[in-house]
Structure 1
Amino acid sequence: MLLQLHPGLMIWTIITFLMLVLILRLVAWKPILALLEARERKIRDDIDTASKNREETEKALDDIQAKLASARKEANEIVAGARTAAEKVRDETIAKARDESRQLIEKAKAEIQLEGEKATQALKEQFAELAVQAAGQIIGKTLSPNEHLDIIRKTIGDIN
């Protein structure tokens, strides 16, 4: 009984189905299509927005990388400039120290020469005085201070 075909029931089922399709088409089809179209538009807009955001992000990333490269270049230039300045200061300091040491050496040499000349002069004077005293003892006479100075000067002149 269940597996038998009933033509009347079959006709009523077809009629009911067609009426349901017609009612759905008149009542629900347009709102369903509108919802689907709205959903499609939203998805398309979201994809476009995501694409624009990605492009903007890539552009911002490129800008940031360019700025970073520029900052690195500037930092390298600053470091190079600082190195150059430090080397210049070092070279100037070394040159100044060499000049000062050269001047100190020259001054010391001049002082040594002056002291040597003073010592030589003092030795000459002592030698002359000893010579005068020895001559005075040999002669057996005491010399006056003026005679004494004359003999010293003459002896120093002979030594020079």
Structure 2
Amino acid sequence: MTTTDYATYIAGLPRVLAGAASLFRDGTGRVLLVEPNYRAGWALPGGTVESDAGEGPRQAARRETAEEIGLDLEPGRLLAVDWARGTGRPPIAAYLYDGGVLSEEQLATIRLQEEELLSWKLVERADLDAYLLGTLGPRVRAALEVLDSGAGTAELEDGEPAAR
């Protein structure tokens, strides 16, 4: 295979997007959510993995957290990976990391990225479904179950446990 053939082959492969986020809680177990200004529903601090720049999911979760809420924290363990299909876009491989428990001092230093976010809040687990749309709600619940149980990473497809 020539270099040109290989480049043509690579260009013809399916495209997949990748996203990464961190799941932060406070001392009472409430989940930190952010309100984007560019779409409906709330989200976790996170965003697109900039793979063209050589970034991996863990690096993206840290960068996006620093950009969006002003906290530069190393993500903890991987809690969930979700293969999220969508209409009108390629599938997204969504990585969700443990952001840990934030202290009152850390919460007080949150500064929103005003270009993308309207607000942030801490939400009780029981109320998450009212804020998280699509596959994000099930993904966050699966990650919280992993934290509660001490189990390994949740493997999801469209927010549901992947068949084994």
Q: What range is the shorter-chain TM-score in? A: under 0.3
Which has the larger strand fraction?
A: 2
Which has the bigger relative contact order, CA under 8 A and spacing at least 6? 2
TM-score, length basis structure 1:
0.19
Return the structure number with greater helix share: 1
